[in-house]
Amino acid sequence: MATIEKETTFAFSKRRDAWTTRYSFTPTCYATCGDILMSSKDTVEGVWRHDTNVTRNSFYGTPHKTSITLSSNDDPSAVKIFKSISLETNTPDWSAKFYSNSEYTEDNNGQETPALSAFKDKEGFKYMEVPRSIKNSTSHIVPCPLMSGTGVGIGPNTNLHQYMVDVDVPSGVAVPQGRLLNSNLVGFNSFSDGAFSDIFITSYYDKDDEGIEQVGLDISSNESETFDGEYYNSLIFALNQFLGAGQIQMFSESSIDHNGDQMRGPYLKVDLEVTTNRQIELHAINVDYEFSKLDKRLTQNT
């Protein structure tokens, strides 16, 4: 089946002798009458007169977004860690989505962030810290010293299905909170045949000052069975399989939005977008970065 591409209008400048911009509206034809630009569209009755309507960025009665894509490519031979972006503009409510190493499709170097409207006003500029990558991140997955489950006991609140597991780790060694994974980065849900949610580490404290730590695990049922002995035994069986009798290294997976990898690479591509009926002024876009500690830039002595 053939893929129908999104229609785009390109504008050509006779003065510059070049194609200068793109528009999201797609008219059927254009015409000029003196200095007045007019267009028509098959699906809209009448003729549309441009540059006269009070509501800006509206064509044929439909509002459109303003967008721009740019690349920060200063010192292109250097690997950089991108920290923040600022816009010199009179328009609020911009959203931004970031990419790096997009050309890497055969490995895990490509990075991407969600589209966020998180710009803050700072001294007249719109400022945003570059979000963490939600693609190919690993820094939000860290080793968890949950190595030898010596026993499983039911917690005080059975409605929450909260369980406690004794862990042989030195006193004072914190277990990071997050989703618990095994050495193959598999969650608990697959071991319970879908009957229970994945395990989330929610609390951590010393057990009676014995040098043995106790970790609070939130495990919720995905089914409506009564919490009876058979149901409890199936949970314990799946939990023991998941923990691997202390032979499997465990990992804690925290929020990728907060603890994912920093955006890095030779360049940073940014998709900026805003919906407004105001006149837009965008004077400059600034990107703050630092060089990676592992970067070896090309110099005259290289």
Question: Vertex 72, ends 66 and 78: CA angle to 5°?
Answer: 165
- pLDDT for position 3: 47
* Residues 264 and 113: beta-carbon distance below 8 Å: no
- Side-chain-side CA neighbours of 247 within 13 Å: the count stands at 4
Sorting pLDDT into bands at 50, 70 and 90, what band is 8?
confident
Instruction: Write down all domains in the chain, each with its CATH number in brackets.
Output: 67-137+262-291 (2.60.120), 141-254 (no CATH)
Higher-pLDDT residue of 130 and 200 is: 130
Higher-pLDDT residue of 24 and 186 is: 186
- pLDDT for position 215: 67
Residue 2 in this model has a pLDDT that exceeds 50: no
Instruction: Report, as an integer, the average pLDDT of 190-210.
Output: 74
- By the 10 Å C-beta count (0-12 exposed, 13-18 middle, 19+ buried), 178 is classed as buried
Higher-pLDDT residue of 54 and 75 is: 75
pLDDT digits (tens, 9 = 90+) for 58-82: 888 788 888 899 999 988 888 999 9
Owner of token pair 């990676």: 292
Instruction: Report, as an integer, the average pLDDT of 249-257.
Output: 88
Instruction: Report, as an integer, the average pLDDT of 85-110.
Output: 92
Instruction: Report, as an integer, the average pLDDT of 159-170.
Output: 56
Question: Vertex 249, ends 247 and 251: CA angle to 5°?
Answer: 150
User: 109: phi > 0 → left, psi -120 to 50 → alpha, else beta; which?
Assistant: alpha
Instruction: Report, as an integer, the average pLDDT of 95-102.
Output: 95
- pLDDT for position 111: 95
Question: Vertex 225, ends 221 and 230: CA angle to 5°?
Answer: 95
H or E element, residue 18:
strand 18-23
* Residues 175 and 213: beta-carbon distance below 8 Å: yes
Residue 235 in this model has a pLDDT that exceeds 90: no
pLDDT digits (tens, 9 = 90+) for 177-190: 888 888 888 888 88
- pLDDT for position 262: 95
Higher-pLDDT residue of 83 and 158 is: 83
* Residues 254 and 46: beta-carbon distance below 8 Å: no
- pLDDT for position 155: 45
d(CA 233, CA 228): 9
d(CA 211, CA 157): 25
Tokens of 102: 């997009």
Higher-pLDDT residue of 257 and 7 is: 257
Share of the chain above pLDDT 90, in %: 28
Instruction: Report, as an integer, the average pLDDT of 229-252.
Output: 75
Beta partners for residue 221, in sequence order: 196
Residue 290 in this model has a pLDDT that exceeds 80: yes
104 CB contacts (<8 Å, ≥6 apart)?
110
Tokens of 240: 């023991």
